[in-house]
């Protein structure tokens, strides 16, 4: 498959191919096989060969310190990768290199700061070996055909059939075909006793049985909220402990990177002023945390006091259309790379924003969306962010039908507001900055 979603990654959890296909002996999808294979290829082989070629090396602490660091880096990378790749819309191959490179860099940094002796060549060989192994696992898993999921044909399960990343097998009788790896059903529907017994037997046989709404969310990365008090935790607000920890992390990171950003800000101020008349910064009232208005800061990317037509009102002026003529030359580059958003670091320090979260909308747009879209205000239950799940999945949108889809992405983020989705959004934001995905 070209686009690996939650069912098609190296290390999924709730929808692990190994869970549904264990009957078929799919060895490559099993976590234990993957991690043991990585340790054998990237640690046991190179360190064993090094010990045979240079026996004196095995009597030095450097040898064992390097071996321990390699093992910890591989295990940490595998753990991180499993958590990241459990989210929908993830092409696993994109994250193998950054994840394992980051854990080995962390190992190098710790060894350097603690002044422990280590072998740089052995650590580099372990890094290359782990990368080669996990790319091999990815290739072997890619050779599998698309997952076939059995559907109990009662309730609201018809909404699944529009998702083409898997093959849907609509069951006629309560019998599981050999080709099906998972079973899904509408648990909220009043299922007949025959179907209830069938689902119970599947669970007893070790076949994964998943509620259709959770399956749809895992495949699309969107949550369709149908009534209040419905999210992954059964509560309206996300985990309070993580929200508090995230606020602390936001502040620490902002204080750490601000000195490095100030010289860049000075250069951009000069370039923006030379490119078009007007101030270098732009501020706008937007709706933020708990529905409170606040003033957001950005680098100015448009010409001053110009709308698309004399009839444009506040709502139209708040929207940015494709190929908007108001965008300046340098403004188009700033928007494409998202650098125009960096002054919002000051909003982060004031506690009005986070690095990661739903993007805040202009006050006029937000009030309009609240009137037109159900549950729109619910997205304000977390702090808005410079980047978010909707931005890296969908891009910039303004039309109502597109905003409704964006809202579903925001609800997905809120329902799964954890460190791992924030790290994933950060990695995908770096890719977005390089490709300009979704910019206007």
In order of 117, 199, 302, 431, the CA distances from 434 in angstroms are 37, 46, 21, 5
Question: Residue 183 — very low, low, confident or very high, per pLDDT cuts 50/70/90?
Answer: very high
pLDDT at residue 18 in the model: 37
What's the average model confidence in pLDDT over 225-232? 57
Q: Tell me the per-residue pLDDT of 69-98, one tens digit each, with 9 for 90 and over.
A: 999 999 999 998 888 876 665 667 778 888
**Helix (H, G, I), strand (E, B), or coil: what is residue 22?**
helix
Q: Exposure string (b/e) for 292-309, b if CB count within 10 Å is 16 or more?
A: eebebbbbbbbeeeeeee
Nearest residue to 379 via CA among 401, 351, 410, 353: 410
pLDDT at residue 235 in the model: 65
Spell out the residues 6+ positions from residue 412 whose beta carbon is closer than 8 angstroms to its own.
Answer: 217, 221, 222, 223, 389
What's the average model confidence in pLDDT over 180-201? 90
Which of 38-52, 223-237, 365-379, 390-404 has the lowest average pLDDT?
223-237
The two tokens of residue 53 are 């070629």
pLDDT at residue 354 in the model: 95
Is the pLDDT at 1 greater than 50, yes or no? no
Is the pLDDT at 4 greater than 50, yes or no? no
Is the pLDDT at 365 greater than 60, yes or no? yes
Backbone angles phi, psi at 284, to 5 degrees: -155, 140
Measured at the CA of 421, the angle between CA 418 and CA 424, to 5 degrees, comes to: 145
Helix, strand, coil percent content, the chain, rounded in steps of 5? 55, 10, 35
Question: Residue 6 — very low, low, confident or very high, per pLDDT cuts 50/70/90?
Answer: very low
pLDDT at residue 252 in the model: 95
pLDDT at residue 144 in the model: 61
Kindly state the percentage of the chain with pLDDT values over 90.
41
Contact 6, 88 (CB under 8 A): yes
Radius of gyration of the chain from Cα atoms?
25
Nearest residue to 11 via CA among 99, 65, 92, 117: 92
Is the pLDDT at 398 greater than 80, yes or no? no
pLDDT at residue 393 in the model: 84
pLDDT at residue 407 in the model: 85
What's the average model confidence in pLDDT over 199-205? 89
Question: Residue 317 — very low, low, confident or very high, per pLDDT cuts 50/70/90?
Answer: low
pLDDT at residue 22 in the model: 41
pLDDT at residue 412 in the model: 86
Question: Residue 440 — very low, low, confident or very high, per pLDDT cuts 50/70/90?
Answer: low
* Distance (Å, whole) CA 223 – CA 296: 27
Spell out the residues 6+ positions from residue 278 whose beta carbon is closer than 8 angstroms to its own.
Answer: 300, 303, 304
Is the pLDDT at 370 greater than 90, yes or no? no
Kindly state the percentage of the chain with pLDDT values over 70.
82
In order of 14, 44, 147, 161, 175, the CA distances from 170 in angstroms are 22, 47, 14, 9, 11
Residue 436, phi-psi category: left (phi > 0), alpha (psi -120 to 50), beta (remainder)? left
Q: Mean of the per-residue pLDDT values for the chain?
A: 82
Residue with more model confidence, 394 or 172: 172
The two tokens of residue 41 are 């290829």
Is the pLDDT at 21 greater than 90, yes or no? no
Is the pLDDT at 338 greater than 50, yes or no? yes
Q: Tell me the per-residue pLDDT of 256-291, one tens digit each, with 9 for 90 and over.
A: 999 999 999 999 999 999 988 889 998 899 999 999
* Distance (Å, whole) CA 86 – CA 92: 10
* Distance (Å, whole) CA 286 – CA 304: 19
Is the pLDDT at 383 greater than 70, yes or no? yes
Is the pLDDT at 208 greater than 70, yes or no? yes
Whether this prediction's pTM lies above 0.85 is answered by no
Is the pLDDT at 19 greater than 60, yes or no? no
pLDDT at residue 323 in the model: 66
């Amino acid at each position: 498959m070209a686009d690996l979603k939650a069912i098609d990654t190296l290390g999924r959890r709730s929808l692990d191919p190994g869970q549904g296909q264990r009957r078929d002996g799919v060895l490559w999808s099993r976590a234990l096989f993957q991690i043991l294979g990585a340790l054998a290829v990237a640690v046991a082989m190179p360190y064993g060969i090094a010990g045979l070629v240079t026996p004196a090396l095995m009597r030095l602490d450097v040898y064992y310190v390097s071996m321990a660091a390699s093992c910890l880096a591989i295990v940490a990378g595998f753990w991180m990768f499993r958590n990241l790749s459990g989210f929908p819309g993830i092409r696993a191959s994109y994250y193998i290199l950054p994840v394992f490179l980051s854990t080995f860099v962390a190992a190098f940094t710790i060894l350097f700061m603690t002044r422990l002796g280590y072998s740089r060549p052995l650590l580099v060989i372990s890094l290359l070996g782990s990368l080669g192994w996990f790319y091999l696992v990815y290739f072997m898993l890619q050779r599998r055909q698309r997952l076939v999921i059995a559907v109990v044909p009662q309730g609201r399960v018809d909404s699944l059939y529009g998702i083409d990343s898997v093959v849907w097998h609509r069951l006629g009788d309560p019998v599981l075909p050999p080709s099906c790896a998972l079973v899904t059903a509408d648990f909220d529907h009043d299922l007949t006793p025959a179907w209830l017994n069938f689902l119970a037997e599947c669970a007893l046989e070790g076949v994964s049985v998943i509620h259709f709404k959770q399956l749809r969310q895992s495949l699309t990365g969107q949550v369709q909220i149908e009534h209040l008090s419905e999210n992954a935790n059964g509560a309206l607000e996300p985990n309070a402990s993580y929200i508090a920890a995230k606020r602390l992390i936001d502040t620490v990171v902002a204080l750490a990177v601000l000195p490095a950003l100030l010289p860049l800000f000075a250069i951009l101020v000069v370039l923006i002023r030379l490119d078009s008349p007007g101030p270098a910064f732009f501020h706008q009232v937007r709706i933020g945390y708990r529905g409170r208005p606040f003033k957001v800061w950005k680098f100015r990317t448009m010409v001053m006091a110009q709308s698309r037509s004399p009839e444009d009102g506040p709502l139209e002026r708040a929207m940015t259309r494709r190929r908007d003529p108001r965008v300046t030359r340098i403004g188009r580059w700033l928007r494409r790379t998202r650098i125009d958003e960096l002054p919002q670091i000051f909003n982060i320090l004031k506690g009005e924003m986070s690095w990661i979260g739903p993007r805040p909308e202009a006050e006029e747009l937000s009030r309009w969306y609240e009137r037109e879209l159900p549950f729109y205000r619910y997205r304000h239950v977390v702090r808005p962010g410079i980047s978010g799940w909707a931005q890296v999945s969908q891009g910039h949108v303004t039309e109502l039908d597109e905003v409704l889809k964006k809202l579903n992405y925001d609800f997905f983020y809120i329902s799964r507001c954890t460190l791992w989705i924030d790290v994933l959004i950060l990695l995908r934001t770096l890719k977005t900055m390089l490709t300009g995905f979704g910019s206007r």
